[in-house]
Structure 1
Amino acid sequence: MSARRAFVVALELAAVAVVLSLVVGQVLGQPVLLAFVETGSMAPTMEPGDGFVAIPAQLAGPPEEGDVVTFRAEELHGGGLTTHRVVGETESGYVTRGDANPFTDQDGEEPPVKDAQIVAVAWAPGGDVLVVPHLGTAVLAVQGVLGTVQRNLASMLGTRALLGPTGLGYVFAGAMGLLYVLDLLRESGNVKEKDDAERARERSTGRSVDLYLVGFALILVVGATSAMVAPGGTQEYGVVSAEFDSERPTVIPMGESGTVPYPVGNGGFVPVIAYLEPASEGIEVDPGQARLARGERVNATVTLHAPPETGYYRRFLVEHRYLALLPPSVIDSLYRLHPWAPIAAIDALLGGGFYLLGRALVGGGRVRTRRRSRGGRSSLGRRLGGLLPGRR
């Protein structure tokens, strides 16, 4: 592969990765590499539709004053992801404010932001957020088109499997497969008889098999990551420390404790390993780990502690889950290293394994065509036959 062709392929893959990360991030409600703002509350730093590089909170560590963070708000805009700047810190959490707002979020009804609510920190090399103008505007348009395609295909085929994050992966995989077949048909119909030198030159400009393999591997990785990230996340419990007994499990007498069940299920085909851990004070969970077979469902017990003073208190629980494609001991060791380490290892296993298997079966080089073989087979037939093991 020439340096120029390698550069073009790298750009194509980067574009696919950017679109997938943004769209999947919107579907999951969790920024994946890139994110964007939809309102003008961060002007002039970021205008509506501007994008930024989103560093996961687990990798960025605790935010500092001046950092721009994306957090799961409780009251702002009806709840959901909000991107604002940290302007202070109290014993109850962080104080945040949009750059365009004259008052902090906590001057309104939004409680101080806990670490468990922060999902990403905007990358700010040199102290200024790296802004990608109008990136979000394009992503919303792509997301709208993909959502329409998913709904129409699901309705046409009578299945809900094409909806949601997993369905998005199916749509991408089907689209790439269709484009590959159309590319075969187009080239087989357009190639004319040329002399040997021209044919050699044509082969050198063919489309790289690696591009297709990497594209499909990327889709597989996105689907696997969605299956691990989407069902997990942070669970919030609002505890009322009261002077009286109540039948409600989250209304607890002062200084005492109550329990609530936390269901953990596996609706997929692959076994998963789930980790449950407290993300704030005043909460415990047992068991802290569960291995779930296909269709299995268990209940963990969450113990909530009420402070000795009356009031409303928030407690947080975080769930991390991983496809059981590695030995449990390996996943456990990686998890103790960092919660994202098992995801990276599993994605590398799936993506790298698919690519190596594809290279072993298909081989490398270029996808190329000939108009007619000596034996009368069409170029498309020869090419499809040439992809089988042992055929060259």
Structure 2
Amino acid sequence: MTTGSLVKRALTVAVAFVVLLLVLGQLLGQPILLGYVATGSMEPTMDAGDGFVAIPSAVAGSPSEGDVVVFNARELHDGGLTTHRIVDETDEGYVTKGDSNPFTDQDGGEPPVTEGQIVAVAWQVNGEVVSIPHLGTAIMGVQGVMESGYDLLTAPLGVTTAFEAENAGAIMIALGIAMLGFGLLVERVGPHRRDTTRSTARENVYAFWTTIGLVLLVLVTLATAAMVIPSGTYEYGLVSTDDPTDDPQVLAPGASTDLPRTVDNAGYVPIVVVHEAESSGVDAEPDRQVVGPRDSGETTISLTAPETTGEYARHVGEHRYLAVLPPSVLVWLHGVHPLAAITAVNAVIVGVTVVAVLVLFGSGDFRIRRPGGHVPLWTRLQRKLRRLRRDD
């Protein structure tokens, strides 16, 4: 393989990776490694449509004054994601502001931003945001094309649902199904061409470490998803007022209340759960617990109303780890960094899997015999359908 082909392949993989991150970020509603600004509120740091490298909050840690952060706003942009700079820090949270705006977000009615609302921090070098010119413009252009195509396809069918990220995901799935159907059709009725090449690869023989690598990739992906997806930040509304009510979240200034929280484990592996306060005036007891498989645990969230009347939000972070290590070790690793605990869990899964496979199967290549493997896919599907009819 020449240097040029290697560079071309590397560029192709890089572009595909960037596109995948952007699509996933849109579907999940938060930037994954890459983000962009849609307005000019951050000029001259970033122009409208510029992109930036977004470091997830779990990796970046606690932000500080001067950082540009992406947060889930409560009032701005109808509660959508906002990218602004932290200009101050108070007991209630961070004060944020667009570089080109004449006033802070909090002067405009946005409550102080708590750590639990922050989903990413823009990467900065020597205090300057590393921006990617026109990245957002390109993405918004693609979204516009998809929206136009969506409207064009759905209008004749009388569909009135607006185009959203979930619609984009559905369209991608539909295109995948359509491509599968097209491939079956071509295999069935398309022109047949005799294969004049001869392969030197052994049929149905799979290299040991390649196979193990694929299996481990699946296991590690599933394990990471089982830890990351249920984790997150939970918000509790709180009202501090001189006229408290029976509502446990409407309190007199300085008063406290306790709210129960149930932690469910729907999996078949015990989990270690760590609760962390991500804003002032909130606490969890116990702050760590082990929940057995297909079981649930209880924790108590304590909220304290500020002395100043008003409406407030309190945030509690919940982190989950598969209990493949002693709970005390996982809690200690979590204290170092959540990624350290996740990495340790995955390392144990990899080690146990490799040892088990070596003991059971040895280190030789795998050979899988598949009777009828030479039969075309369309013919195999027809045979399966006939068997199903006979069984009925």
Partner of 2:72, secondary structure, is: strand
Tell me, yes or no, if the aligned pair for 1:56 and 1:120 is still in contact at 8 Å: yes
Counterparts in 2 of 1:330 and 1:130: CA distance versus 1, 3 Å: same
Counterparts in 2 of 1:297 and 1:14: CA distance versus 1, 3 Å: farther
Partner of 1:71, secondary structure, is: strand
Tell me, yes or no, if the aligned pair for 1:257 and 1:303 is still in contact at 8 Å: yes
Unaligned runs of 5+ residues in structure 2 are 151-164, 367-372, 378-392
Q: CA deviation at 1:48?
A: 4.3
Residue 102 of structure 1 pairs with residue 105 of structure 2: no
Counterparts in 2 of 1:307 and 1:131: CA distance versus 1, 3 Å: closer
Q: Which residue pairs with 2:340 in the alignment?
A: 341
Distance 1:91 1:215 in 2: 48
Q: 1:193 aligns with which of 187, 193, 196?
A: 196
Q: Which residue pairs with 2:129 in the alignment?
A: 129
Residue 45 of structure 1 pairs with residue 45 of structure 2: yes
| TM-score, normalisation: structure 1 | 0.66
Tell me, yes or no, if the aligned pair for 2:97 and 2:105 is still in contact at 8 Å: yes
Tell me, yes or no, if the aligned pair for 1:66 and 1:87 is still in contact at 8 Å: yes
Counterparts in 2 of 1:124 and 1:276: CA distance versus 1, 3 Å: same
Counterparts in 2 of 1:265 and 1:7: CA distance versus 1, 3 Å: farther
| TM-score, normalisation: structure 2 | 0.66
Q: CA deviation at 1:58?
A: 3.9
Counterparts in 2 of 1:139 and 1:290: CA distance versus 1, 3 Å: farther
Q: CA deviation at 1:339?
A: 1.7
CA root-mean-square deviation: 4.9
Partner of 2:230, secondary structure, is: coil
Partner of 2:126, secondary structure, is: helix
Tell me, yes or no, if the aligned pair for 1:259 and 1:303 is still in contact at 8 Å: yes
Distance 1:258 1:297 in 2: 23
- Partner AA of 1:18 in structure 2: V
Distance 2:39 2:78 in 1: 14
Counterparts in 2 of 1:90 and 1:279: CA distance versus 1, 3 Å: closer
Distance 2:105 2:255 in 1: 32
Partner of 1:116, secondary structure, is: helix
Q: CA deviation at 1:76?
A: 0.6
CA shift digits 1:157-176 (9 cap, x unpaired): xxxxxx98xx99x97xx99x
Q: CA deviation at 1:83?
A: 0.7
- Partner AA of 1:305 in structure 2: T
CA shift digits 1:95-148 (9 cap, x unpaired): 222234333211211022223322221012233222224444565648997xx9
Counterparts in 2 of 1:107 and 1:216: CA distance versus 1, 3 Å: farther
Q: CA deviation at 1:349?
A: 6.0
Counterparts in 2 of 1:90 and 1:281: CA distance versus 1, 3 Å: closer
- Partner AA of 1:237 in structure 2: Y
Counterparts in 2 of 1:80 and 1:243: CA distance versus 1, 3 Å: same
Unaligned runs of 5+ residues in structure 1 are 149-162, 364-376, 382-392
Distance 2:257 2:93 in 1: 24
Q: Which residue pairs with 1:273 in the alignment?
A: 272
